Structure 1
């Protein structure tokens, strides 16, 4: 084949705890990662001249070596001494700088695409091992599904699939610096509330949505919400309109809400639209590899 179309799926964090700070400055985490059916579309084409290039529908995104798509393609092309190059066309839908691993999942999708285009024969495990060179979230974005992430996020253990339910995803018109969030966390590390990740995994295994929502938590909310109170306002709006639970994903500012039925979720989406608090709003479902 000369071209391949792939979907790069977003993630949310059902639970996010930071357990310590390493000497190298990285943070030790325990997170429950969950893929959602919100995705970017990528077309990856072979080119004869050996170059690696990309274009995208968002003008402000870098399309140079700073982009994980370019890095991912070059990683495999250089390792396997491939003489041809690729052109990447990225149609972006996942909110940018939103705590949903948008850049990481695009990079993971390019790894998958280049592997298929050039018949490299790499397994999913092989791609995950290479993905960690690009970023801590990339191996999970290759794996997908419901998983416990430990270490700096690269030590992954698949867990029981999350109970199926509608999920509403809302991003306000702001972006959050992950670096600033973690610096703020470091300054008040001893006083933040840590979620019970082990109990959360039991709730997920029991397929108990009410219990999941009562125990899910994100330690970074303690520092991101004071910087951006609109995050708390969006959460409250979702809860007032029927969400079983609502939480910030990653370092923010995206908020997601779990609902028991589509009718309630659609009504909540309408209410958030009218509120004027959000810039991007999606009603979707959870993705699981075992569904």
Structure 2
């Protein structure tokens, strides 16, 4: 049996730069993996069946699950005569802006590559993964990076951010498409990514906090005002580095003061998904 961890991500910076002719949007992002993860286990089957099990319902139909689609795709593309039983233990909230589905898909690519002895490199898996989702290439590597295009064009940042992270989600799901459907080019706020990358390379945590940016926030706040309330509440409790991740609905806070984040965590009751973790 093979086991893979599927790490969540946060966006320290997310700038929507243009709408593409294919209907998607061009993005400019700084992405970081955090120590919150799902666990996938893989059991070889002698038949060609693909069985997906999980502790929660991820999709209404198993065939809509990215992990299932990837298993079927690899099985077909590489003429695999075996099947697999995949167990997914979900810890990352679903539709939360943390790339939980993409992380599971990336873990499936890594795990099946080992289980079925396909022999692909991480770069090969990344190339396959981008056909299933824009965040999957990042989730293959789980390394701090700048991502452009739809998110699949990655440049790694050779730095480590030793920062604790507080994750708060109001236990609501937001569909990425619903947020992007509200985006209007003439309304978009914009910011230079260079200040954020400079803060990272120079270890300037005050600059990193000040340059946190997500141009999708206003649209997600429109769909679910509770997200904005959480952000303001954390700021009012004395943390400057607060941002929504991805298309929402998760708010994260970063600070070198772990004790302060822990105190804030205790303010939120059990109606929220809450987790004190760290950037990997």
Structure 2 residue aligned with 1:47: 45
- Equivalent residue, structure 2, for 1:106: 104
Contact preservation (8 Å) 2:231, 2:243: yes
1:221 maps to 217
Q: What residue number does 1:279 align with?
A: 272
Counterpart in the other structure of 1:255: 251
Q: Aligned-pair distance for 1:190?
A: 1.3
Distance across 1 between alignment mates of 2:158 and 2:206: 16
**Contact 1:15–1:32 (Cα < 8 Å) also in 2:** yes
C-alpha separation between the residues in 2 aligned to 1:203 and 1:60?
Answer: 37
Distance 1:218 1:65 in 2: 32
Residues 66, 101 of structure 2: 8 Å contact kept: yes
Deviation of 1:162 after TM superposition, in Å, equals 4.5
What's the counterpart of residue 64 of structure 1?
A: 62
SS of equivalent residue, structure 2 residue 279: strand
C-alpha distance in 1 between matches for 2:122 and 2:177? 30
Report if the CA contact (8 A) 2:195-2:207 is conserved: no
Q: Decide whether aligned partners of structure 1 residues 164 and 195 sit closer, same or farther in structure 2, where only a CA change above 3 A counts.
A: same
1:115 to 113, 121, 130: 113
2:88 to 87, 90, 100: 90
2:133 matched residue in structure 1: 135
C-alpha separation in 2, matches of 1:70 and 1:59: 14
Residues 117-126 or 189-198, more deviating: 189-198
Aligned to 1:172: 170
Distance change in 2, residues 1:20/1:193 (3 Å): same
Task: Extract unaligned runs of 5+ from structure 2.
Answer: none
User: Are the aligned partners of 1:72 and 1:108 in contact in 2 as well (CA < 8 Å)?
Assistant: no
Q: Distance in 1 between matches of 2:171 and 2:14?
A: 23
2 CA distance for matches of 1:234 and 1:51?
A: 44
Q: Partner residue of 2:205?
A: 209
Could you tell me which residue of structure 2 aligns to residue 232 of structure 1? 228
- Structure 1: 5+ residue runs without aligned partners? none
Give the match's secondary structure for 2:13: strand
SS of the aligned residue for 1:184 comes to coil
- Please report the TM-score for the alignment, with normalisation by the length of structure 2: 0.96
Aligned residues: 280
Whether the aligned pair in 1 keeps the contact of 2:52 and 2:68 (CA below 8 Å) is yes
Structure 2 CA distance for aligned equivalents of residues 139 and 75 of structure 1: 16
d(CA) in 1 for partners of 2:58 and 2:189?
Answer: 36
Task: Give 2:19's aligned residue.
Answer: 21
Q: Distance in 2 between matches of 1:239 and 1:160?
A: 30
The 1-side partners of 2:118 and 2:240 are apart by 45
Aligned match of 2:191: 195
Distance in 1, Cα, partners of 2:99 & 2:165: 17
* Residue 180 of structure 1, CA deviation: 1.6
Candidates 200, 223, 238, aligned match of 1:242: 238
